[in-house]
Amino acid sequence: MKKYWAIVTIFALLSVITYVLEARAGSESKPLALSYSSTGVTYHCLKNDTSCANTATVPPQADGTNVYCSDCVGGMNTLCTSVGSGAWAFHAAGAWYCGTGGGAGSGPAGPVGPGAAPTCQPMAGATPVIRPLSTVQPEKDCYTETLSASTTACPIPAANPPANGWVGHIFVTQPSGGHSYTFTLDPTACTGTAVQYMTTGGCSALPTMPTGTGHSLIIDMLYNSLPATPELDIVSCPTTGS
């Protein structure tokens, strides 16, 4: 009888050991994060926005994805921006973060995370479109432009809105040379989000762009998806100069 129970015990132990080894092998075969192989995607395809020229190159929009962005601005764990010489991008907390450019081993060490100080995106041209860096979580973005002509900016395409509570800042500056360029926000320019000015306090209307070299218009805005029609609330709009 003792021999019988000894044999049963041995078989039970072998079963447990086999189960543990198989479980370990199975867990080790699963990647900890998404892998994605590519020779490089553009910034707009990285973000999967409406300006992507080749949607077949859009990488997975999932945390853990690492991909080389051929025209992103390289930094150190900052939100990816365009018009650069290339950088490795890492998707975390619903957004793309860029590290320094270079080989596959030079990706970002880790994202700065939501709520960090925004990295300003340069706008250019007479009809720029304001696009949030992330559309899945509230964050802070800022945009800058030194005017080269009277400009009409389209605020956030309605088809690609950010999360409720998104905050944005725009810094628009007159160039040197005594120009009197104007700046306006017009949602009809790109089927953008409706603009709502403050009825009491704050910015009741967008002021005239100040003239004179270096004078600026500063716009603080908040995306509000709670009304039946989502809106971009213009909270404040101070100017320097007159």
Q: Which residue has the higher pLDDT, 41 or 87?
A: 41
Is the pLDDT at 236 greater than 90? The verdict is yes
Count: domains in the chain: 2
- Considering the domain architecture, whether residues 195 and 215 belong to the same structural domain is answered as yes
- Helix (H/G/I), strand (E/B), else coil: 68: strand
**How do residues 96-152 score in pLDDT, each as one tens digit?**
877 654 433 333 333 444 444 456 888 889 999 998 887 777 778 889 999 999 999
Q: Is the pLDDT of residue 173 over 60?
A: yes
Structural domain harbouring 57: 31-113
Report the alpha-carbon distance of residue 204 to residue 196 in Å, rounded: 9
What is the C-alpha to C-alpha distance for residues 240 and 214, in angstroms, rounded to an integer?
9
pLDDT at 225: 93
Q: Residues 107, 79: one domain?
A: yes
Q: Which amino acid is at 6?
A: A
Query: At 169, which helix (H) or strand (E)?
Result: strand 167-173
Last residue of a domain, one of 94, 113, 132: 113
For 115-160, where are the E strands, in sequence order? 120-122, 129-130, 140-146, 151-155
Task: Specify the pLDDT at position 98.
Answer: 78
User: In this structure, are 119 and 237 located in the same domain?
Assistant: yes
**pLDDT at residue 7 greater than cutoff 80:** no
Distance between CA 191 and CA 230 in Å, rounded?
13
* Conformation bin of residue 159: beta by default, left when phi > 0, alpha when psi is -120 to 50: alpha
pTM strictly above 0.75:
no
Higher pLDDT, 36 or 56: 56
Q: Check whether residue 139 and residue 163 sit in a common domain.
A: yes
Token digits of residue 72: 């992103």
* Domain shared by 58 and 97, yes or no: yes
* Same domain as 130, residue 103: no
Q: How many residues does the chain have?
A: 242
pLDDT score at 155: 94
What pLDDT does residue 76 have? 54
- Please give the Cα distance from 227 to 74 (Å, whole number): 38
Query: Is the pLDDT assigned to residue 35 strictly greater than 50?
Result: no
With bands split at pLDDT 50, 70 and 90, how would you rate the model's confidence at 64?
confident
